Structure 1
Amino acid sequence: MTRVLPASTGVVRAHPGPGRRAGVWRTAGVAALALALMLVAWPAMADGRPVAATAGDGAAPRLEDHPCPVAVPSGTRCGYLVVPERRDVPASREIRVGYAVHRSAAADRKPDPVVYTSGGPGSASIQLTGYLTDMLLGRDRDVVVIEQRGSRWSRPRLDCPEIARALVGTLALPGQTGDPAERAEIAAGAGACRDRLTRQGVDLRGYVTREIAADVADLRRALGYDQWNLFGVSYSTRSMLAAATADPAGTRSVVLDSFWPAQSRHYDEARADLASALSRLGGRWPGLPGRFATMVTRLNEHPAPVDTTDPLTGRPVTLRLTGDDVATILTEAMHEVDVLPVVPALVDGVAEGDLRPLRVLADQVGGGLLSHEFGLYYAVMCQDEAPFNTFADQGHPRQFTVTADQAVCAAWGLPRSAAAPAVPAASVLAAPVLVVGGEYDPATPPGRAKAASQALPGARFAEFAGVGHAVFLSSRCGRQTISAFVAAPSATAAPCDPRQAAYQVWRPGEFHLTPAVYRVSTGAWWLLIPFVLFFLTSAVQLGAGVTVLARRRAARAVSPVVALTTVAGLAGVAFTLFAAVGVYSVARSNETALAVGIPSAVTWYGTLAVLSAVLSVAVLARTRFRVRAAVPAVAAAVLLVWWFLYL
């Protein structure tokens, strides 16, 4: 993430939703569906008839068959939309835009499908076909998923490993974010990628929002649908809104999730947007913005060396995380609804000097390299976004995504695209619009989205509590609201209460930072040996004591050693069970939180372990240090060291 993520405007998770628990810490693994693409062709319209048109100068786009590149629901067919790379250039070469169509088998199937594309720019989309079909939109409409031109499942694929390699290389540099050495390395990687794509015949000027929007409109006509419902998230809210204005007759409704309006200035506003999100989180954790500033200053003055794995080579590497780096990571992390509850505790801990959570953050560096196609991302951002920003130095935190994007765009030297209209006129946007936003979204703040929605003809806005970026992935109420709107765009009744948050942010003192659970989950199983050994010895103590007590019940005489052994075993078993249940309860509701720490209440269970240890030592003293009495005492001592000094 740090120094390798494109700007925080993408949605790349594969089949997320209520069953997805890993959040941002495993987003990279979910998002990176690195499967081989198989190339063939499918002629198909909505009714299954072939399209006879040929692409090229003045020709209508055509459809080609192509096996689905990822797992999709039964009844889904995939293909390519063949279109000109640049519609403004006669005889422009053909490119292929990936898409998938899931046809509803419902008896009451509606004639107008939902068409979706992910954000980014450069995020893949087809992997979400199953989620959109099963969890979001019901089963009475076809679901169409279209890739962005140049994305992973389109051809050409505009990846840029040269930039990725350069970005990772800057992690070893000792300077601050945006130093000349870093900019030079990024610019060199950008130049190498641009030169390679140019040699392959790619015209980067064809990869802009207006062309992406035109692909959407062309796909509707090629598939033979009279109308459909447009659904965009993050960056694709721009392209879908542009598609709605370019194809008003074919647009029944528009859903804009985490709205990124054309009039916003992403780079110039990035620092203020993060501050706004932190301020909102600060309502649950007083003083959070100040603690965040302390953390950034501390790490900028003394960058933290963190050992992790190079996401490109798989080899060990030491990163040097500055405060600006960590701020960039947390900006990305706050997109995730299951990360938000622990962000304040993490910030507070690092500000106090506890650097252990940084290992968790460093391990996620590869996510940004796998989640977007950098060539497409920068082609869009360098033409449609960067030229409309000033890139003025706003002080710290200086997000690396801003300075890196500026360096790449300067190296590429692409011309500025024609600015899209900030607000489409009512005459060209007649369809009703639903805009949804997340309370804690640091990339597309709800305040800006609400203000922009008020300028859209026929639009209404809904904000969802406790949610970050991409409401439809994070909020059940958000999904219900979107589904109800698509079913009846003119209806105004809310199907649920958007003020009910999925997770509550941990308050001060409620969460304890520890890397123990994360390290165990990433392969360090041996760290559980003290816990397991203590449980086994305590169980033996309890079993032995209960057995003796049962035999001597008639005599009504219980020796002190038996009583102490029984109570020691009972306290030890109770401790292990309570601790395990406490951790498991968090794992069931928000597994991501365990990557950072555990509820503070769990740490108090250690008093039972202390009681068990004291009683075991007392038994050892009364039995004159016999070996079988020494084992529980030693196990308890080891457990206490592990519990209080490590966990």
Structure 2
Amino acid sequence: MNLPLWLRRLHRRGAALSLLPVLLAGLAVHAPARAEAELALKPCRLPGFPTELQCGVLKRALDPAQPQGRQIALQVAVVPALARNKLPDPVVFLAGGPGQSAIELLPTLAGRMGRLNQRRDLVFVDQRGTGKSASLACRDERYLPLSKQLDREAMLQELQQCRAELQKLPHGDLRFYSTWIASQDLDAVRRALGVAQWNVIGGSYGTRAGLDYLRQFPGAVRRAVLDGLAPPDGVLPLSLSQDGYEALQTLLNECAAEPGCARAFPELRAQWERLLASLPRELSLRHPLTGKSETVRLQAEDLVMRLRSPLYVPSLRSALPAAIAQAAQGNFDALLGVASGMSGGRGGQLSTGMHFSVICSEDYPRLATRDAATLSGPAAFYARVCRDWPRGEVPAAFYEMPKAQSPVLLLSGGVDPATAPRHGERVLQALGPLARHELVPGAGHGVMGLPCMRDTLARFIEAKTDEQALALKTDCAARMPLPPAFVPPNPELPAAAARPTAEKRP
């Protein structure tokens, strides 16, 4: 699951409605299909992708209960199959977040799915609220001053202002951006394309979208691959806290057990605990994107949150012991640099309004039953935001995961700080005998991008029969090791020689 950058910073203390009656919600799910809306595909090009695509727009009702009411435009992009005689079952990708644009990710993902693209179209749909599909984007928080990003009250005000601006838009009724409505949009795209069945690939939050699509439209799915499970019956703000904490503890334990790391950083856990105990305090830090120095008041919770983002990626994770050791000696630049390693990149910015519209509708009702005094980290922040955020009615069936009716391959990274393997095991039990769960111990958040797993994914979808798909060996990355901790040539030198971080104690 991906989070807005400022929320990763809030958690790394660890990434994303007038109520509709339940009866109407149920009717919307099961109502007979109307005549299909038009989806005329035309040649187009996208920045960063070398070949011509087919793009189009599908009109959908903002409120499913009012099909003739306010309409929104779903953006669709298709990478045509290379073969002249293509197969009839395309591949559709469901993006993460909540809030990522699938089409912005297309240049990266289409390259990784080149084998599948030989004989199958690749379909990318910007989910409502993302990309150019009735966007609910807020100001790009990556460029906000650090002092604002690390100030929860300031970020609450930023979100309140964004929410007020979004609600003025023609499509700004924030009640109608839930996952279950987006599933109906997705199936409307399938029908408009004239596809009987397709293969669904989802990553992170896209697994929640994929599981709901399987629930509502099981007959439309030939095969499904779900990577980094965020099931609908989980409470994301709570699981993020638990998974992030466990991932950090695993890192500290690994360093103590690995001879090279233990020699270089023999007191890493003690340093980490002393570092937390030394906060809050004022520090001069350099903004990772603008390069400007700022004086900020760093809280212990803010420090924990900064560690969550690099835990996503094993190569960044390996630099954390050295960064923690340097921060314990007063130099926070390395920690800030490693924590910002995922700040840029194509598709990195989330649609914040869509992110909260989804979580406030689907997760907050169960979060709100908890004693507010017991909530901390992202759970406490989400609770405050969602208290005033418009929420849509979500059918009770949304939280269920019926038995799979077609083969489903579930993927989990062993050190994933956002969607831990335990979620994949729970989904496996719910989906039943047509599901398989592959755990890659040395992977973080996202498994299908690994070179050998791309081939595994393709073979799973290419298999002629369900039996052949389920019998495939999927453990090609099972022995892939985690990168060892990065140890500077002289571990003492970086901290001793680095420019001292200016510090102002309260």
Q: Same fold by TM (over 0.5)?
A: yes
Per-residue deviation at 1:223? Answer: 0.6
Q: 1:234 to 1:394 in 2, by over 3 A?
A: farther
Name the SS for the 1:230 alignment partner: strand
Quickly say closer, same or farther: Cα 1:421–1:362, change in 2 above 3 A: closer
What SS does the corresponding residue of 1:494 show, helix, strand or coil?
Answer: coil
Residue 163 and residue 497 in structure 1: after superposition, are their counterparts in 2 closer, same or farther (change >3 A)? closer
2-structure distance, mates of 1:252, 1:172: 45
Structure 1 position 309, deviation (Å): 6.2
Cα distance in 1, alignment partners of residues 321 and 496 from structure 2: 23
Report deviation, 1:142: 1.2
- Compute the displacement of 1:470 (Å): 1.6
| Residue identity in the other structure for 2:139 | P
What letter is aligned with 1:254? Answer: A
C-alpha distance in structure 2 between counterparts of 1:168 and 1:642, whole Å: 24
Contact 2:316–2:338 (8 Å) recurs in 1: no
Superposed displacement of residue 143, structure 1: 0.8
Measured at CA, do residues 405 and 332 of structure 1 come closer, stay the same or move farther in structure 2, by a change above 3 Å? same
For 1:191 and 1:131, how far apart are their aligned partners in 2? 33
| Partner residue in 1 for 2:165 | 196
Please name the residue that 1:389 is paired with.
Answer: 367
CA contact (8 A) 2:37 2:192 kept: yes
Distance 1:307 1:367 in 2: 16
Instruction: Give the match for residue 315 of structure 2.
Output: 338
Q: Please state how far the C-alpha of 1:364 moved relative to its aligned partner.
A: 6.1
Letter in 1 for 2:126: E
Aligned partner of 1:241 among 189, 196, 211: 211
Query: After superposition, where does 1:105-184 map in structure 2 within 5 Å?
Result: 105-107=82-84, 109-136=86-113, 138=115, 139-154=118-133, 156-161=134-139, 170-171=148-149, 182-183=152-153
Deviation at 1:307, TM superposition (A): 2.6
How far has the Cα of 1:211 moved from its partner? 1.1
Rate the CA distance shift 1:291–1:345 in 2: closer, same or farther, 3 A: farther
Aligned to 1:38: none
2: CA distance between counterparts of 1:498 and 1:106? Answer: 30
* Larger RCO of the pair (alpha carbons < 8 Å, separation 6+): 2
Task: Report the TM-score when normalising by structure 1.
Answer: 0.63
What are the residue-to-residue correspondences of 1:478-557 with 2, within 5 Å?
A: 478-488=453-463, 489-491=466-468, 492-494=471-473, 496-501=475-480, 503-506=482-485, 511-512=487-488
Deviation of the 1:107 alpha carbon: 5.0
Query: 1-side partners of 2:112 and 2:235: how far apart?
Result: 33
**Offset at residue 255 of structure 1 (A):** 0.8
Could you tell me how far apart the structure 1 residues matched to 2:55 and 2:207 are?
23
SS at match of 1:152: coil
Please say if residues 298 and 351 of structure 1, whose CA atoms lie closer than 8 Å, have aligned partners that are also in contact: no
Displacement after TM superposition at 1:642 (Å): 10
Structure 1 distance, partners of 2:379, 2:165, is 24
2:399 aligned with 1:455, yes or no? Answer: no
Rounded to whole Å, the distance in 1 between the matches of 2:241 and 2:495 is 39
Cα pair 1:69 1:153 within 8 Å, conserved: no
C-alpha displacement at 1:436, in angstroms?
0.1
Q: State how many pairs are aligned.
A: 457
Q: Quote the Cα distance in structure 1 between the aligned partners of 2:63 and 2:167.
A: 15
Instruction: State whether residues 258 and 469 of structure 1, in contact with CA within 8 Å, keep that contact through their aligned partners in structure 2.
Output: yes
- Per the normalisation by structure 2, the TM-score is 0.79
Q: Equivalents in 1 of 2:174, 2:494: separation in Å? A: 56
Residue 3 of structure 1: how far off its partner (Å): 3.2
Amino-acid identity (%): 25
CA pair 113-73 structure 1, distance change in 2 beyond 3 A: farther
Q: Amino acid of the residue matched to residue 456 of structure 2?
A: T
Instruction: Give the direction of change, closer, same or farther, for the CA distance of 1:366–1:133 in structure 2 (3 Å limit).
Output: closer
Shift of 1:502: 5.8
Where does residue 264 of structure 1 map in the other structure?
234
Which residue is 1:72 aligned to?
49
Out of 39, 57, 60, which is 1:63 matched to?
A: 39
Three-state SS of the structure 2 residue aligned to 1:441 is coil
Shift of 1:412: 1.9
Q: Residues 54 and 79 of structure 2 are in contact (CA less than 8 Å); yes or no, is this contact kept in structure 1?
A: yes
2:387 to 410, 417, 420: 410
CA 465–107 in structure 1, closer or farther in 2 if over 3 Å, else same = farther
Return closer, same or farther for 1:319/1:78 CA change in 2, 3 Å cut-off: farther
Give the unaligned 5+ runs of structure 1. 11-56, 174-181, 513-599, 607-640
Larger Rg: 1
Matches within 5 A, 1:190-589: 190-201=159-170, 202-286=172-256, 290-291=269-270, 294=273, 297-298=276-277, 300-308=279-287, 317-361=294-338, 367=344, 371-390=349-368, 392=371, 398-399=376-377, 401-426=378-403, 429-457=404-432, 458-473=434-449, 475-488=450-463, 489-491=466-468, 492-494=471-473, 496-501=475-480, 503-506=482-485, 511-512=487-488
Contact 1:306 1:320 in 2 (8 A): no
**Counterpart Cα distance in 1 of 2:212 and 2:144:** 34
Q: Is the 8 A contact 1:466 1:503 kept in 2?
A: yes
3-state SS of paired residue (2:81): coil
CA 1:262 to 1:250, structure 2 compared with 1: closer, same or farther past 3 Å? same
Return the letter of the residue paired with 1:263. D
Letter in structure 2 aligned against 1:377: H
Contact 1:228-1:250 within 8 A present in 2 as well = yes
Residues 73/456 of structure 1: CA separation in 2 closer, same or farther (3 Å cut) = farther
Is 2:58 aligned against 1:88? no
* Residues 590-616 of structure 1, C-alpha deviations (whole Å, 9 max, x = no match): xxxxxxxxxx3xx49x9xxxxxxxxxx
In structure 2, what is the equivalent of residue 628 of structure 1?
none
1:97 maps to a residue whose letter is L
